[in-house]
Structures are given as structure tokens and as C-alpha cells.
Amino acid sequence: MPDARTHPKTSHELPAALRSDLERAGYFPELVTDVLDVAIAGEPVVAHLVHAETTFDSDAVRRHITALVLTSTRLVVAHADDHAPDDPDGPPQPYATAATEAVPLRAVRSVVVNHVVPQPQEYVRGAGSRDLTLTIGWGAVSRLDLEPATCGDPDCEADHGYTGTASADDIALRVASDADGEDAVREALAFARALSALSAGGAAR
């Protein structure tokens, strides 16, 4: 009889729509399904967003996938990458890494959606964006942008110190109609709407 400790079974089936999107993304769907199953831990899924991306380094082509899963209490983030066998920190054969983070909704500080709309003078309500970036912050990563402060006098040479802005952008996903398709943009907008609604309720709690 197989040892259950060395052959763990998936305890809960992920929703069919989420599994379908992972399969369509085509990036080790069984692996991503298993790591999501552990992080979701049987909670009902309210909404999800799966985004696959290929990046080109100077000497390699790398694939990535990010899956965002929303439950009534948490935002679950899964990310997987593949690595070349010559990576000095890895094994001598190609391998993948996958990581998850489960964020309580009360911890979500910001949900930013940046829309790009060509020819805005012709925009009609309901047409949607051609390109958007969804940025979510919950305080794990903060960025501080500084620049020299001025007093408004162009001839002033005094040192006024620095001014800047602090922002939280733990994860940012860019989805474009031309690259990902119009359906992907609509799905990203739907996820952003669901997350905004639930995180606002979580903050109230």
C-alpha cells in the first residue's frame, strides 16, 4: 500500500473554470493546481485570474505563470517559473519553482487598475480597456520614490531636502488585448471588481 505521507492526494477539487484556465495557459497545470490546492485549503473560490507570460533574457527564454484566487476571506497568489539546468543554484536538469502566498483580505491595502484607452474621444460607455495593469498591495513590498524638493523659485539654490511617495505594489499584472486577447482583459477587470468589493468589506471587518 502506498505511503500517504510520500504520496499526498489532493483533498479538494478546484473549480472547473479555474482548472480550465490553468490547462489553457499550458504551464505545468498539474503542478500549479496542486500548489493552489494546498494554499486554498478547501475554501470556496469566489473569483480567479490566471496570467501566463514569456520573457526573453539575453541568453534564455523563460516562462512564468501567476494565478490569483479570491475566496471570501483571502487572496491567494501562486507564481511558478522554469529554470535552465545550468543555473548555479539549482539541480543539473531543467526544473520549476512554484510558490504561494495567502493574504487575508483585511490586509489588502490597495487595488489599483490602470486603464489604457486609445482614441478616448471615441470611447463609448461599456467598451472597456484595451490594456490594463492590475496592481495589488498588502504591505509585504513597499517602494519609496524620492526626488529633490523645491520651493517653486527657479533661482533658489537652497537645499530643501527630498520629497517622495511611498507605494505598495506587491504584485502587478499587465494584460493587453493585442497580446492576451479581449477576453483576458475582461477577465482581469472582473477579478479587479470582485477583489475591490471583497477587500473593502474585509477592511470594514
- The proportion of the chain whose per-residue pLDDT surpasses 90, expressed as a percent, equals 52
Res 160: pLDDT: 55
Res 10: pLDDT: 45
Number of alpha carbons in the 13 Å side-chain half-sphere of residue 31: 18
Looking at every residue in the chain, the average pLDDT score rounds to 81
Under the banding of pLDDT at 50, 70 and 90, the label for residue 141 is: very low
| C-alpha angle 198-29-170 in degrees, rounded to nearest 5 | 40
- Of 28, 101, 22, which is closest to residue 63 (Cα–Cα)? 28
- Of residues 20 and 86, more confidence is placed in 20
- Of 80, 104, 100, which is closest to residue 37 (Cα–Cα)? 100
Task: Tell me the backbone φ, ψ of residue 39, rounded to 5 degrees.
Answer: -75, -40
Res 155: pLDDT: 73
In the predicted structure, residue 154 carries a pLDDT above the cut 60: yes
What is the C-alpha separation between 108 and 199, in angstroms, rounded? 6
Among the listed ranges 12-26, 91-105, 167-181, which one has the minimum average pLDDT value?
Answer: 167-181
Res 143: pLDDT: 46
In the predicted structure, residue 86 carries a pLDDT above the cut 70: no
- Of 49, 57, 85, 66, which is closest to residue 192 (Cα–Cα)? 49
Under the banding of pLDDT at 50, 70 and 90, the label for residue 152 is: low
Under the banding of pLDDT at 50, 70 and 90, the label for residue 84 is: confident
Determine the residue type at 69: V
Torsion over CA: 37, 41, 188, 61 (sign) = negative
- Of residues 82 and 185, more confidence is placed in 185
Under the banding of pLDDT at 50, 70 and 90, the label for residue 200 is: confident
In the predicted structure, residue 43 carries a pLDDT above the cut 90: yes
Res 156: pLDDT: 75
What is the C-alpha separation between 124 and 114, in angstroms, rounded? 18
